[in-house]
Amino acid sequence: MSDIAVILPDGTELSVEEGATVRDAAFEIGPGLGKDTVAGVVDGDLVDKETPLHDGANLVIVTDQSDEYLDVLRHSAAHVFAQALQRLYSEAKLTIGPWTDDGFYYDVTNVDLEKEDLEAIEDEMRNIIEEGLDIERTLIDREEALEKYADNPYKRDILETEAAGDDELSFYEQGEFEDLCKGPHVESTGEIGAVKLLNISAAYWRGDEENDTLTRVYGTAFESESDLEEFLEMRAEAEERDHRKLGQELDLFSIPSVTGPGLPLYHPNGKKVLDALENYGRDLNDDYGYDYVETPHLFRTELWKQSGHYDNYQDDMFLLDVNDEEYGLKPMNCPGHATIFKQGSWSYRDLPVRYAENGKVYRKEQRGELSGLSRVWAFTIDDGHLFVRPDQIEQEVEDIMDIILEVLETFDLDYEVALATRPEKSVGSDEIWEQAESQLRSVLDASKMDYVVESGDGAFYGPKIDFAFEDALGRKWDGPTVQLDFNMPERFELSYTGEDNEEHRPVMIHRALYGSFERFFMVLIEHYNGKFPFWLAPEQVRILPISDDQIGYAKKLKHELGDFRATIEDRSWTLGRKIREAQTDRVPYMVIVGGNEEEAGTISVRDRKEREEQDVTVEEFRDHLEGEAAEKRPEPDFLADEE
């Protein structure tokens, strides 16, 4: 039997026999590692330790000290849930139960479950964990597997689709329970330290709303009770910061049923925040030489066929017939920008050409995937598209990354960087993709920035650099992106006249600073817990007259505060209630005025941290606000010295 070579994380090659498994490779490295092996990561996929390796495979050995171990543990916890469910509800049918970033879920049917039922299932899960049942992998031939699931159409669907070519199927057994599964799993149910069932919801089989509705139970698992407690505390904090809850409390946005799913309405308070974000982005674009353009929401599908979206994105598009012609709501802004560029006549001296647009786009997500502002049907991208000469690529990408880093620093967001490479569904030649990926990698390497490679996560038209930002609770969200595109200029036959007086093809760079306004707004609401920085707050100052006698003085002060977003609390409430209401509304500053302040021509200033200073001149306060807004300081700091 001949040998094959696998690639280890440090880039070295390990020679193993053909047919060797992940565990075999671990034993080749060392007997201790072989004994400790729980699973493996092969070409980016988490797999069972008995998975055979192929020549050239990229291999990471997973032990109980690896980051991936928690995923394996949670996958096993999903099986423990399924076993507990069938002990209590023998009629329940199982479908799929994968691990997730926060835990696991299992989709089931043929059983009526309410949230109140989860406690009993959770108790039975703990019994199974205490029993310390061995979790063992077995291989069963296809006919036997089909017979096992004669009355379970969901498992048979799996056997007939993703497992269609397998003569032997992988099952995992623990006690009386068995489940069709590729793994990986821990050795015993006793390795699961702590479990918690979190929620229950409806879900469609395969995520398709045309299919059966199932019951989805969410849970989580950890190695220890202390880890679980920490997670539950963080979860409670996340619920407190939930943008849907705060959006209602602060009157920022709503998604009523009459608009349709995933179609948010922005109320005046929310629109003021969005305007502040848009103005900040416009200032950055102006500084870097972008020209604003505008494209319609609807195009003939001829455009989407030319761009490649029709073939690669059709299922996610809203299509309609108008006068026997097919039109599509735009899922992206780039074809419109390419069309604008094509209308011009360009010399090499004119490049780079930089277009920007805060363009509304539409994507037909499954209803079950829609959630607040994080995933919607209609959203606005702070889009930018650059048309550059090949020799300008690296400088322009560097400049874009500088803008993105400035944005992330302004909002005090930590971030991670990834180079996303060619996906399975893509357009363009191997040579074009290799060139594009090489140039983005060159920029990242030159920046000395830490990054990971996410194989297959690029756009269908080109590779990209993605920034994922981390909010105050440590959650990661997709954000800014830089995408290199050699394909769309080819499809649209874009050209410029070179120094040699010949026609040349420009390169197109796609970039977004926020990603989308909707998701970025969502992240900011939760990141700041509704306590927006002064420059971003929908209401920056609330003037609180102690009595109706000071209403006139309050109006004069509002005028003197100029363009700042100031309001007057003129309801006949006590001062204490007015202050409490302003703090509940998270207003950065309160200006309190009574008879003494009016007589002296001064104000008392109080911030939302309950710091207060009296005998302040309006000019002094206004000058401070101008500086705080211009510098985009993260917290109100007029009274910072009072702490």
**How many percent of the chain have pLDDT more than 70?**
99
Cβ-based neighbours of 45, under 8 Å, separated by 6 or more: none
Average pLDDT score, the chain:
92
Q: Kindly report the pTM of this predicted structure.
A: 0.81
* Average pLDDT of span 310-339: 90
pLDDT at 315 over 70: yes
- DSSP code string of 543-560: EEESSGGGHHHHHHHHHH
Question: Nearest 10 degrees: CA dihedral of 452, 453, 456, 461?
Answer: 100
Q: Cβ of 79: how many Cβ atoms within 10 Å?
A: 28
Largest pairwise CA distance in the chain: 98
Q: What confidence score (pLDDT) does residue 170 get? A: 92
Q: How confident is the model at residue 365 (pLDDT cuts 50, 70, 90)?
A: confident
Q: What confidence score (pLDDT) does residue 171 get? A: 94
Q: How confident is the model at residue 639 (pLDDT cuts 50, 70, 90)?
A: confident
Q: What confidence score (pLDDT) does residue 429 get? A: 81
The answer, yes or no, to whether the previous bond of 184 is cis (omega within 30 of 0) is yes
- DSSP code string of 105-170: EEEEESS---GGGHHHHHHHHHHHHHHT-B-EEEEEEHHHHHHHTTT-HHHHHHHHTTTTT-SEEE
Binding positions are 334, 385, 510
Q: How confident is the model at residue 104 (pLDDT cuts 50, 70, 90)?
A: very high
* Residue 185 exposed, middle or buried by CB count within 10 Å (0-12, 13-18, 19+): buried
- The rounded distance, in Å, linking the Cα atoms of 38 and 186 is 6
Percent composition of the chain: helix, strand, coil (DSSP 3-state, to 5)? 40, 30, 35
Binding positions for Zn(2+) are 334, 385, 510
pLDDT at 346 over 80: yes
Lowest mean pLDDT among 102-106, 160-164, 242-246, 361-365: 160-164
* Average pLDDT of span 472-495: 88
Between residues 470 and 514, the one the model is more confident about: 514
- 246's tokens: 């705060």
- The rounded distance, in Å, linking the Cα atoms of 579 and 588 is 12
pLDDT digits (tens, 9 = 90+) for 180-224: 999 999 999 999 999 999 999 998 898 877 899 999 999 999 999
Q: How confident is the model at residue 643 (pLDDT cuts 50, 70, 90)?
A: very low
Domains and CATH numbers, the chain: 3-62 (3.10.20.30), 70-240 (3.30.980.10), 279-527 (3.30.930.10), 541-642 (3.40.50.800)
Secondary structure of residue 67 in the 3-state scheme: coil
pLDDT digits (tens, 9 = 90+) for 58-80: 999 999 999 999 999 999 999 99
Lowest mean pLDDT among 14-23, 178-187, 474-483, 540-549: 474-483
Chain centre distance of CA 278 = 20
Q: Cβ of 546: how many Cβ atoms within 10 Å?
A: 18
Q: What confidence score (pLDDT) does residue 461 get? A: 79
The conformation of residue 642, written as its DSSP 8-state character, comes to G
pLDDT at 339 over 70: yes
Helix (H) or strand (E) run with residue 454 in it: strand 452-454
